[in-house]
Amino acid sequence: MGRSPAADSRRAYGEPGLLGDSWRTYRMVAGMWIRSTMTYRSSFALTLATSFCVTFFDFVVILLMFGQVRGLGGFSFAEVALLYGTAGTSFGIADLTMGSLQKMGKRIRDGSLDTFLMRPAPLLAQVAADKFALRRFGRIAQGLMVLVWGLLLVDVAWTPLKALLLPVTVACGAVIFGAVMVLGASTQFWLQDAAEVTNSFTYGGNTLLQYPPTIFAQELVRGVVYVVPLAFVSWLPALYVLGRPAPAGVPGWAAFASPLVAAVCCGAAGLAWRAGIRSYRSTGS
């Protein structure tokens, strides 16, 4: 007892668990979308270039600003680049892999979610890989470029711990952004037009994290640390790397809490997703 018949059948078929199954499904569906995009090659090249330009000009704006002022909220240009780069890369990865979740409301409204539910594959993987767009790589490339730039210019006494913290931060950041996207998609099971609310957390959070916390109001910073734990995406770890105090009275060890926060976010997102599906399947809308 205790084992679900579904799990038994999975074993009988010699299949991997939910995670392996999701990854397999994701790869299959994403692969189909890449092939679909490639049927319009020039259009793909054009959107890729546009996407890169748009994000790049974001950074040019900061460049221009630093031409006029010495620093931003007490942060030098290189330090801002580091913040911008870590947040931007994390967000880019999450946006590439999970960005399609924004479209959940539309999927529910036009009934295509039902088609997904009829397939013998995990729903979240199907929805996340839906409309998979390689052009979103532009965002990651841009984030990485700025990050490398910042690393080359920044004046930091590097220790092994700091060197390790940086890639871990980027990875955990991507997971946290991804979890927030799943959470947002889950709410669309109930509120079908709430995509913009989620976007304000993900896209808005990304923009917030690209600048030093010192330039924002304390209340806002507290909200980002304690309410929506986006600060763990880049602020807290990056500030540690830069040897600066954490904002809003956060203890020093918080800089290393990103993996924990990421795990908690995933758990919450998973629960919300399950609740969402259950609600959808009982209400049909």
Partner 1 sequence: MPPFIELDALEKTFTVRRRAGLLRREKREVRAVDGISFGVEKGEMVGYIGPNGAGKSTTIKMLTGILTPSGGRLRVAGVDPARERTRLARRIGVVFGQRTTLWWDLPLKDSYRLAHRMYRIPDDRYERNLARCVDLLDLGELLDVPVRQLSLGQRMRGDIAAALLHDPEVLYLDEPTIGLDVVSKARVRDFLRELNATRGTTVLLTTHDLTDIEQLCSRVMVIDHGRLMYDGDLAGLHAVGESERLLMVDLERELPPITDVPGARFVRAEGPRQWLAFPATTSAAPLVAAVAARHPLLDLSVREPDIEAVIAKMYGGTRDERRESLM
Closest CB to partner 1 among 117 and 161?
Answer: 117
Told to check if 281 binds partner 1 by CB under 8 A, we report yes
Draw the binding track, 92-111, toward partner 1 (x: CB under 8 A; -: no contact): -------------------x
Told to check if 193 binds partner 1 by CB under 8 A, we report no
Query: Closest Cα partner for 95 from 169, 168, 178?
Result: 178
Told to check if 1 binds partner 1 by CB under 8 A, we report no
d(CA 128, CA 106): 13
Contacts of residues 222-230 at CB distance under 8 Å and 24 or more positions apart, as own/partner, are 222/248, 225/250, 225/254, 228/180, 228/201, 229/176, 229/261, 229/264, 229/265, 230/176, 230/177, 230/180, 230/201, 230/205
Strand pairing partners for 75? 72
Size of the site for partner 1 (CB under 8 A): 29
Closest CB to partner 1 among 13 and 68?
Answer: 13
DSSP notation for 58-76:
HHHHHHHHHHH-S-BTTB-
Hey, which residues between 18 and 57 contact partner 1 (CB under 8 A)?
Answer: 25, 28-29, 32, 35-36, 39-40
Residue reference for tokens 């295509």: 112
Strand pairing partners for 72? 75
CB of 22 to partner 1, least distance (A): 12
The answer to whether 92 touches 185, Cβ cutoff 8 Å, is no
CB of 45 to partner 1, least distance (A): 16
d(CA 165, CA 162): 5
Draw the binding track, 111-140, toward partner 1 (x: CB under 8 A; -: no contact): xx-xx-xxxxxx------------------
Told to check if 284 binds partner 1 by CB under 8 A, we report yes
Told to check if 15 binds partner 1 by CB under 8 A, we report yes
Told to check if 69 binds partner 1 by CB under 8 A, we report no
**Binding residues vs partner 1 (CB under 8 A):** 5-6, 9, 13, 15, 25, 28-29, 32, 35-36, 39-40, 111-112, 114-115, 117-122, 278, 281-285
